[in-house]
Structure 1
Amino acid sequence: MNLLVVKANNRPATVGVSSKMYTTFMEKIKEAKNVNVTVYDVFEEDMPYFGEEFFSALGKLQSGEELSNVEERLLAAKQKAKDIFASADVVVFIFPLWNLTIPARLHTLIDYIDEAGYTFKYGSDGPVYLMPEKKIILMNARGGDYSSPEMQTMEHAVNYMRHIFAGMFGMKVIDEVIIEGHNASPDKAEEIIRNGLDRVVETAEELTILDGIETPIGDSSTSVLVE
């Protein structure tokens, strides 16, 4: 199995809960003998933001004009992300909720791979999925409690990732591990985080024995909430 782990928090694990989830997952997954692990750290990669420079670069490629430095970097970063993502059987995204959404650099990675002709194409009846066999695992930490119906509409991190990968790309979200409420309930924070990290370990253990990645790890229709 080719496993891609996308790390999307550059805070140290001593203070960042999703960073703690990453270190916990990586410590456990290294025991696997049937898994080839690649890490893509969005804060370590050269990732120019997606915008006019990309469309300008496409025009210059067609006309044979010389690319600017940022255009070259952007095209190279986009291609690298596409190549790494395409080679993975399972992709684990480990990310925080920042200001109700995902970190901007994680969004940039999604901008790189959200491409007609790559992850999907347009059909007469809507999008056609080009990588439906790819499996996705979402691991998220959020200090508040967003599992209640009135708060769910404000949560644009896990909801966004699920809609992109399951809805737009047709991939299967086979597991979600969410640690939440540790900032809202500081008296329970240690227990909340400990229980959540136990779930991270369980997910890593299940990946190490997953045969052929055909059987879902968890129920992708519901989040695994640690409260």
Structure 2
Amino acid sequence: MNVLVVKANNRPDGISTRMYDTFLEQIEENQDLNITTYDLFEEDMPYFGQDLFSAIGKQQEGVELNDTEARLLQAKQKAKDLVAQADTIVLAFPLWNFTVPAKMQTFIDYLAEAGFSFRYTPEGQHQPLLTDKRVIMLNARGGNYSAPEMQPVEMAVNYVRNIFGMHFGMDIKKEVVIEGHNADPNAAETIINEGLEEVKKTAQTLAYQNA
């Protein structure tokens, strides 16, 4: 099984960073898995915008690209290639200001391409194209966003679930969320340790996901 493990946090002490590290520790010796890591904060990932549309137009016309345009197309293609080759994508990301980090948004923007991750049928219906892939989500958030009054402003897990599950058509196999450790400092150690144990269990069963 080809496994792509995506890191979307550059804080060394971040809880989702610890989830990423813990997951990798559990699978790195597994001979049944071909593992690729992808650190979004270490990658050259120019933001999605007019430069990309200009690059695509120039490419179609055979016009030379400027440096930013060339970097954009290269980064976008790399993201697409890594996802195309993966059977399972593991996403380790935090909730920052109610949503995902900008680097993760850029990664998603690279993948959300008609003809690659989705298409529209002749009847105008949306059709996801990455239905052969599985996703494991590892998320950390300091507040208690499972509480009913907080769920409407949780736009990280909900967003990623909708993009990868509904829009791209991937099978969401597992969601591990560590939450509330900042809201309740006295219980933080217990909350984090219990969450990391769940990460370990999820990683240990990864080789059986195709069964």
Task: Give your verdict on TM over 0.5.
Answer: yes
1:2 is matched with which residue? 2
Instruction: Name the SS of the counterpart of 2:172 in structure 1.
Output: strand
Return 5+ residue gaps in structure 1 as ranges.
215-227
Question: Of residues 69, 77, 81 in structure 2, which corresponds to 1:83?
Answer: 81
| Structure 2 residue identity aligned to 1:178 | V
| Structure 1 residue identity aligned to 2:8 | A
| Structure 1 residue identity aligned to 2:191 | I
**TM superposition shift of 1:167:** 1.1
* TM-score between the two structures when normalised by the length of structure 2: 0.97
2:49 is matched with which residue? 51
2:184 is matched with which residue? 185
Q: Deviations over 1:45-74 (max 9, x none)?
A: 110001000110111112222110000000
> What aligned pairs does 1:92-171 form with structure 2 within 5 A after superposition?
92-123=90-121, 124=123, 126-171=125-170
Q: Deviations over 1:189-223 (max 9, x none)?
A: 00000000000000010013x16x15xxxxxxxxx
What is the CA–CA distance in structure 2 between the aligned matches of 1:129 and 1:63, rounded to whole Å? 29
What is the CA–CA distance in structure 2 between the aligned matches of 1:112 and 1:97, rounded to whole Å? 20
Instruction: Name the SS of the counterpart of 1:153 in structure 2.
Output: helix
**TM superposition shift of 1:125:** 5.1
**TM superposition shift of 1:39:** 0.5
What is the CA–CA distance in structure 1 between the aligned matches of 2:114 and 2:15, rounded to whole Å? 34
What is the CA–CA distance in structure 2 between the aligned matches of 1:167 and 1:62, rounded to whole Å? 30
Aligned pair count reads 210
Is the CA contact (8 Å cut-off) linking 2:181 and 2:187 kept in structure 1?
yes
C-alpha RMSD of the superposition: 1.0
| Structure 2 residue identity aligned to 1:192 | I
1:173 is matched with which residue? 172
1:11 aligns with 2:11: yes
Return 5+ residue gaps in structure 2 as ranges.
none
